[in-house]
Amino acid sequence: MTKKDIINSGKVKSVFATDKEDEVLIEFRDDMTAGDGERKEVMTKKGTYNAIISSKIFNVLEQAGVKTQFIELVKPNEMLAMKLDMIPIEVIIRNIATGSLVRNYPIEDGTKLNPPIVQMDYKDDEFHDPMLNHSIAKALGIATQDELDELEKLAFKVNDALKDFFDKAGIILVDFKIEFGKDKDGNIVLGDEISPDGCRLWDKETLDMLDKELFRKGKDDEVMEAYVEVYNRVIPDDEKAKFDL
């Protein structure tokens, strides 16, 4: 596999072409951003921790029957992946009310949501990722009704698998954001990453935050300790041995 020209540079990841038309190399950088990219810091090895955690989660989801773009981790911070045409929708699942939900609606922080909430935001920093409904998504031409239904169905399936996965690691999956794309045949496939950057993860015993919310709250010196804690809990020791961390 040869790393070729850069195709896209996002806020925390860069995507490179490879010698295969339908595969890309995703480099997880050490950048951390908040507020639609307005605040940016470098956190040593953050890209590596996120790439390893994401790879593990994509493997778990494949075993649960969710198709993902993950192929293999070629370096600790570089993921070989199926090339997708990304859909600009952030699909969010909430198991516990917090964050923008409690800022925007009269619901108390920490309320258990049963059934969980599914929400879709339009992925666009310029517009500050506004919330979508099906009519708006269809009017924007970003997805059909069938595709929207499938995104929601897949997001619930991801939630079922990951709630269980994190629970076994003593972590509550509070909420998370995922993104999907289409493969060359038009099939919807889970893409991007699933890491402490886009999930709220709370310690089951102490309810301590183990995710990017610490950075959003300005607790920059606690962020990497939390990411390392998630890594230590979800990556088995024999898999950790492959990485020099």
x/- track of binding to ligand 5GP for residues 203-232 (CB under 6 A): ------------------------------
Q: Which residue is nearest to ligand 5GP (CB)?
A: 99
Q: Quote the least distance from Cβ 7 to ligand 5GP, whole Å.
A: 20
Q: Which of 59, 100, 170, 243 binds ligand 5GP (CB under 6 A)?
A: 100
| Binding status of residue 147 toward ligand 5GP by CB under 6 A | no
Number of residues near ligand 5GP (by CB under 6 A) = 13
Closest by CA position to 123, among listed 178, 171, 204: 178
The DSSP annotation for the chain comes to -----EEEE-SSEEEEE-SSTTEEEEEE-SEEEETTTTEEEE-TTHHHHHHHHHHHHHHHHHHTT--BSEEEEEETTEEEEE--EE-SEEEEEEEE--THHHHHSS--TT-EEEEEEEEEEE--GGGT--EE-HHHHHHHTS--HHHHHHHHHHHHHHHHHHHHHHHHTTEEEEEEEEEEEE-TTS-EEEES--STTSEEEEETTT--B-STHHHHTT-HHHHHHHHHHHHHHHS-HHHHTTS--
Nearer CB in complex with ligand 5GP: 18/123:
123
| Binding status of residue 175 toward ligand 5GP by CB under 6 A | yes
Q: Quote the least distance from Cβ 36 to ligand 5GP, whole Å.
A: 7
Nearer CB in complex with ligand 5GP: 99/170:
99
| Binding status of residue 192 toward ligand 5GP by CB under 6 A | no
| Binding status of residue 90 toward ligand 5GP by CB under 6 A | yes
| Binding status of residue 179 toward ligand 5GP by CB under 6 A | no
| Binding status of residue 198 toward ligand 5GP by CB under 6 A | yes
Residues within the interface to ligand 5GP (CB under 6 A): 90, 92, 99-101, 129, 175-177, 197-200
